[in-house]
A = this chain, B = another copy of it.
Amino acid sequence: MNITIIGGGGFLGQKLARALVARGTLDGRQISCITLADVNDPAGITDARVPIKTARCDITDPASVAQVVTGETDVIYHLAAVVSSHAEEEFEEGMQINLHGTLNILERCRELDSVPLLVFTSSLAVYGGEVPDPITEVSLLNPQSSYGTQKAIGELLVNDYARKGYIDGRGVRLPTISIRPGKPNRAASSFMSSILREPLNGQMANCPVDEDFQHYYLSPRKCVENLIRVAEISAGDLGGNRILQMPGRTLSIRQMIDAMTAVAGSEPARLITWQPEEAVRQIVGGWRFDINADRALALGLEADGSFEENVRAYIEDDRPAG
């Protein structure tokens, strides 16, 4: 089985590749090769028991997509995106990568004789506006950002290309991933990892919202497990709507900080400053957190047991040594 991870240079693509290598199989079939494709040269994985290729790929260019999605490709993970604040500030770039890039991948699949399995990662940003709580499988997608709009369009396209038989498509709306390793990025949700990650690394971080701000979270570790599970659900079990809400947990900022303190002591929380940031508040203030993921849970996807688990996973998997 050949797997291509588009966005394979990102933290989630790298973690997914490592998890797939550790398993050696997907859906009971031996993995013969993993291709990590990314607009930036992706890091390879050196201790791999499975051959790993890396490829530079610009998804806005159909010819570039054709290099990494071929008749030999069995499974595609499409994780590449321009994130929320970035797509809001640079409309053109967001449209090119999030909409036309996704279309290029789908069109490449359509022109193949084979029917690859494609896992598309969507986002909570598809929700918003005057839609009643809780958000369920039958709630209107009412995005309040260009990023959310582009992800909602990706969902519609994945469903239609699957219905037409061009792909075996699946989509998952990711909760906000926390604690995300690495550096802050241009997602409006970036602080939802920074305010824990930086203090756990002994550094200061600012929280731009109040401590009672609530949101819906999942650890990178559980997210990767769920991404693998999504590819293993039989198409028949997915039914007519191939997009699932990936399960998460609803927490306030205060609950997240308390969990960090329970795991790592009282020092890290003292490194958090509380300067309000209006631009961030405006975007995340419209996000939804009362979310029902029953269908995904019934299909075997899982949330973390508690946010303490997220903190421990970061310390075990990602905290820089020393």
Enumerate chain A interface residues (CB-CB to B < 8 A): 91, 110, 129-132, 137-144, 146, 149, 152-153, 156-157, 159-160, 163-164, 239-241
Contacts and interface: CB of A to CB of B under 8 A. Distances in A.
Given A140-B139, A143-B156, A129 B241 contact: yes
A139 B160 CA distance: 18
A138 B137 CA distance: 12
A82 to B, nearest CB: 14
Contacts of A132: 138
B140 A140 contact: yes
6 contacts: A129-B240, A130-B138, A130-B239, A130-B240, A131-B138, A153-B156
A157 B146 CA distance: 9
A237 to B, nearest CB: 14
Nearest to A154: B153
A282 to B, nearest CB: 12
A144 B91 contact: no
Given A130-B240, A138-B139, A139-B140, A156 B152 contact: yes
Nearest to A152: B156
Contact of A160 (B143, B159, B240): B143
B91 A164 contact: yes
A138 B128 CA distance: 11
Given A138-B139, A140-B138, A241 B130 contact: yes
A79 B80 CA distance: 34
Given A132-B138, A138-B139, A141-B140, A159 B163 contact: no
A137 B129 CA distance: 12
Given A138-B140, A156-B156, 10 more contacts: A129-B240, A137-B140, A138-B142, A140-B140, A142-B241, A143-B160, A144-B163, A144-B240, A146-B160, A149-B159
A132 B138 CA distance: 8
A155 B154 CA distance: 14
A146 B130 contact: no
A218 B123 CA distance: 37
Contacts of A160: 143, 146, 149
A113 to B, nearest CB: 16
B163 A157 contact: no
Contacts of A130: 138, 239-241
The 5 A-B pairs with the shortest beta carbon distances in the complex, nearest first, are A149-B160, A138-B140, A129-B240, A131-B138, A153-B153
Contacts of A143: 156, 159-160
